[in-house]
Amino acid sequence: MQNKHSSAIEVGILGATGMVGQRFIQLLENHPWFRIVWLAASYRSAGKRYEDAAKWRLDTPCPERIAQMTISPNTPEGAPRVIFAALDTDIALELEPRFAAAGCAVVSNSSAFRMVPNVPLVIPEVNADHLHLIEAQSWRQQSGGYIVTNPNCSAIGLVMALKPIQERFGVEQIFVTTMQAVSGAGYPGVASMDILGNVVPFIKNEEQKMEAETLKLLGTLDANTIRPLAARMSAHCNRVAVEDGHTECVSIKLSRPATREEMLAAWAEFKPLAGQHLPTAPAQPVEWVAQEDRPQPRLDKNRGNGMAATVGRLRPCGLLDWKFTVLSHNTIRGAAGAAIVNAELLLSLGKLEPIALAAAQT
Ligand SMILES: NC(=O)c1ccc[n+]([C@@H]2O[C@H](COP(=O)([O-])OP(=O)(O)OC[C@H]3O[C@@H](n4cnc5c(N)ncnc54)[C@H](OP(=O)(O)O)[C@@H]3O)[C@@H](O)[C@H]2O)c1
């Protein structure tokens, strides 16, 4: 599938050696619209060949072209104008504004700017209209650059499952318990001695992020601010001995009653991007599995090429109205894939194009 340019748009990856950085490389390698031309990580990696700096952790080989690339310094000089960022929060706080100020579109995975009022926190299927917020960013006004973020990996599957329900019936209360994969903590992440045969009932700041981000994502755009969804929410976040895929048990109270058939129809008919032809967007964003013991991370995490949220076990809840289980791939839909589909949406809206063209002309 071609974009409106005759050639692919040049992109870079900040944090290219990490768990999410590697997913970016894997997902972008044969991307029809974007081509990786620049990789950066910390000063420890700068100047090295990628294959010497990164401990490749994915189950497909590192592309040879990438393996031979040299890691650049983490500065905007010489970087392309479209940057996928996969940095730890404290580093992102410092570096992402520098790239935005230098005129780059920074499509970020980190939590550093997600809750800043004029920074869009976006899932294209859920709240594409929130991208309007970039026009209120001073970087955008001064250099053309901006920051767009995608949510925490625990929030994304939940919000994809909630959006069609919220649209049709309203959601007033959300109670969720997560079972989150170890890859969500980056590499090397949780020590094997802490997680093997074990469950860790604490992930620092995760519950607060999940609650705040869910309500912002389901909120409404009002001029240049987001009014968060006025729902009550409680999240319990746990780390479990699973490699990839976050599983979440959800109970919800609705504003209007819904039957089981109506709930299933809301998920089945949820195709807000139909006809937009974004290459990474799944045709069926929320997939239903009917078997009573699904979804499971090992069996269902790769549905929609890892970009779908899989729901199952819908049944009445004794406390609220309905309960169900949702699963999503944390480093694909919950991280790199989320950012890539955000960039595809930006390009299709003409918000990436002027920036990329300016780079090509300089
Ligand atoms: N893993 C997930 O499922 C997931 C999901 C959603 C969001 N996220 C978020 O994505 C971000 C990255 O997560 P991750 O799991 O990929 O972490 P990670 O595996 O620890 O990777 C961190 C990356 O940041 C680089 N880095 C460290 N200091 C740097 C500096 N001063 N300048 C430039 N680069 C620097 C590292 O490079 P070196 O190799 O040179 O140290 C590495 O490439 C985090 O904010 C995380 O919260 C992760």
pLDDT digits (tens, 9 = 90+) for 39-69: 999 999 999 999 999 999 999 999 999 999 9
The answer, yes or no, to whether any atom of ligand 1 lies below 6 A from the CB of 110, is: yes
Residue 295: cis peptide before it, omega within 30 degrees of 0? yes
The answer, yes or no, to whether any atom of ligand 1 lies below 6 A from the CB of 19, is: yes
**How sure is the predictor about 165, in pLDDT bands with cuts at 50, 70 and 90?**
very high
The answer, yes or no, to whether any atom of ligand 1 lies below 6 A from the CB of 149, is: no
The pLDDT of residue 53: 98
Mean of pLDDT over the chain: 95
Question: 96 C-alpha to center of ligand 1: Å?
Answer: 13
Among the listed residues 123, 159, 138, 129, the one whose alpha carbon sits nearest the alpha carbon of residue 335: 123
The pLDDT of residue 66: 98
Q: Is 104 part of the annotated catalytic residue set?
A: no
Q: HEC profile for 171-233? A: EEEEEEEEEECHHHHCCCCCCHHHHCCCEECCCCCHHHHHHHHHHHHCCEEECCEEECCCCEE
pLDDT tens column, 6-41: 579 999 999 999 999 999 999 999 999 999 999 999
**How sure is the predictor about 91, in pLDDT bands with cuts at 50, 70 and 90?**
very high
DSSP structure string for 303-318: GGGGT-EEEEEEEE-S
Question: 86 C-alpha to center of ligand 1: Å?
Answer: 5
CA pair distance 266, 257, nearest whole angstrom: 13
**How sure is the predictor about 187, in pLDDT bands with cuts at 50, 70 and 90?**
confident
The pLDDT of residue 244: 96
User: Which residue of the set 246, 277, 317, 329 is catalytic?
Assistant: 246
The answer, yes or no, to whether any atom of ligand 1 lies below 6 A from the CB of 109, is: yes
The answer, yes or no, to whether any atom of ligand 1 lies below 6 A from the CB of 72, is: no
The pLDDT of residue 107: 98
Q: Is 246 part of the annotated catalytic residue set?
A: yes
pLDDT tens column, 215-270: 999 999 998 899 999 999 999 999 999 999 999 999 999 999 999 999 999 999 99
Residue with CA at minimum distance from ligand 1 atom 43: 15
User: Is it the case that residue 359 has pLDDT exceeding 90?
Assistant: no
Question: 33 C-alpha to center of ligand 1: Å?
Answer: 24
